[in-house]
Amino acid sequence: MGLVSQRRQLLLTVSILAVCLAGFSFPSAVSYRRPPSRPDVRVSRRLDDDGSTPQQPLASRRPWMVTQGNHEVEISTPPFTAYNARWRMPFEDSGSTSNLYYSFSVAGVHVVMLGSYTDFDPSSAQYKWLQSDLAQVDRTKTPWLVVLIHAPWYNTNKAHQGETESVDMKKYMESLLYNARADVVFTGHVHAYERFTRVYEDQADDCGPIHITVGDGGNREGLATKYIDPQLEISIFREASFGHGELEVVNATHALWTWHRNDDGEDVVSDSLWIKSISSVDSCKV
């Protein structure tokens, strides 16, 4: 039986700022109309409402599973008051104590949503929750492990270099995802597209996750057009264009990733990759 004929009816589709998974959409930052500075909670609530209203036609027809970005950071006590009130996720179902990080499983995929803008060091609640959550993943039931984070851990764009949300979170948590054999890590934040090879600790690694930045869904700040040269060998494809991505999970072993450039006035596939799940690779099993 051919690969295409084995295709499941339940598919995973992802586009950060429009990432879809079996009927779910995943924006990685929900308030790009908000200025980058941290407003007080009253201004934050108004900006959240202004930014969310245009999203209602889609969000009312398809569930949105979100994680916070830097534009959701506000001056309030407790923090993320406006975000948590408007974008409450089912975090309790995965044993999380915070709306800023959680997980769920759907269509053979375990999805982990992490928070770049809450504590993530080894003593933090998020770190301990992630350890526990990954330890409970059953790859016979969910052969795919997909992670979403706002700030990228791998990035050759000149924008957002050296930020603690990227550098330190990678330092503390990368080994957890590697040892759990995560398949793909999707990020946003950088307003451009970039796909890395399977990687761990800055080196190509067949058992590491593929890192993909899809921060190009559209925003008030424009695109991040400048990249660091020469291009690193682990960076396979990069382009500063508006677009979105789709991850179609075909079966337990194969998925198709496509990135669609939207600048052409029509839906154009500009980058694609067939991905084999790490759980099906004997040499990577732990």
d(CA 83, CA 70): 11
Residue 254: phi and psi, rounded to 5, are: -135, 145
Instruction: Give the position of tokens 């492990």.
Output: 145
Q: What per-residue confidence (pLDDT) applies to 16?
A: 39
Dihedral class, residue 236 (left if φ above 0, else alpha if ψ from -120 to 50, else beta):
alpha
Q: What is the pLDDT of residue 36?
A: 47
Contact 254, 261 (CB under 8 A): no
Catalytic residue among 160, 189, 191, 260: 160
CA atoms within 13 A on the CB side of 140: 0
Per-residue pLDDT in tens (0 to 9) along the chain, 286 residues: 333 333 333 344 443 343 433 344 455 555 444 444 454 555 556 666 666 777 778 777 777 888 888 877 877 667 888 888 888 899 999 999 999 999 999 889 999 999 999 999 999 999 999 999 999 999 999 999 999 999 999 999 999 999 999 999 999 999 999 999 999 999 999 999 999 999 999 999 999 999 999 988 777 778 999 999 999 999 999 999 988 888 889 999 999 999 988 876 667 789 999 999 999 999 998 7
Q: What is the pLDDT of residue 44?
A: 57
Residue found under tokens 């407003």: 39
Q: Which domains does the chain have, with CATH numbers?
A: 4-284 (3.60.21.10)
- Cβ proximity of 101 and 130 under 8 Å: yes
Does 150 participate in catalysis according to the annotation?
Answer: no
β-bridge mates for residue 63, sequence order? none
What are the tokens at 119? 């504590």
Q: φ and ψ at 202, to 5 degrees?
A: 70, 10
Q: b/e per residue, 181-210, with b = 16+ CB within 10 A?
A: bbbbbbbbbbbbbbbbbbbbeeeeeebbbb
Query: What's the pLDDT score for residue 10?
Result: 36
Contact 139, 177 (CB under 8 A): no
* φ, ψ dihedrals at 280, nearest 5°: -100, 5
pLDDT at residue 14, as a whole number: 43
What is the reported pTM? 0.87
Closest CA to 7 of 275, 280, 254, 245: 254
Find the radius of gyration of the CA atoms of the chain: 18
